Amino acid sequence: YCVERDQKVCSISFDAAWGADNTQKILDVLADYGVKCTFFVVGNYIDTAPELVLRMVQEGHIVGNHTLHHPDMSAIQDETSFSAELNGLADKYRELTGGEMKKFYRPPQGKFSESNLAMAQKLGYRTIFWSLAYVDWYTDDQPTDEQAFSKLVPRIHPGAVVLLHSTSATNARILDELLAKWEALGYRFASLEELAGEK
């Protein structure tokens, strides 16, 4: 994405592959701030936490495609198998919400091949990576608040696409203060559509 170097704007995304324990709290904080994020969900998440996916949609967040089964997509080289992962998830989303999924796709673990990028584009998807993340996904080995702030606060940058995991208890606990710290640095939070120049 192309933003001016002095344009303090970033977009926050959450990967939601499993476990809904902390998502409720995260959504509460986002609602308090009026911040719109992108939640990249997998099929299991729609099956096990449909009410949270509906809440994401109702509160104006983008629900993005993180595949049906969360495989290593770089190992998939044929279009039929590739499209089954994206279309299968989009079908589940449509069945739940009655609407069409926004065409944003994030490969599980960021694993991809050049042919994957072409296949996603052929299906109408933008492949979305990230420019700021930290190790927050081990549920039984969570970073302390201080470790999280030390990784996330100084590394924010114009045009950042932030990746957090909604399974993280640390993220749920610090999100309020994290948003406040970034705001204090002059940042505002844009939707992925705005950052991608679609709004």
Catalytic residue among 61, 66, 70, 165: 165
pLDDT in tens, 40-72: 999 999 999 999 999 999 999 999 999 999 999
Strand segments (E) across the chain: 9-16, 38-41, 62-65, 104-105, 126-127, 160-165, 188-189
Question: Strand pairing partners for 163?
Answer: 13
Is 165 a catalytic site residue?
Answer: yes
pLDDT in tens, 112-122: 999 999 999 99
> Which pTM value belongs to this model?
0.95
Is 15 a catalytic site residue?
Answer: yes
Catalytic residue among 6, 15, 70, 140: 15
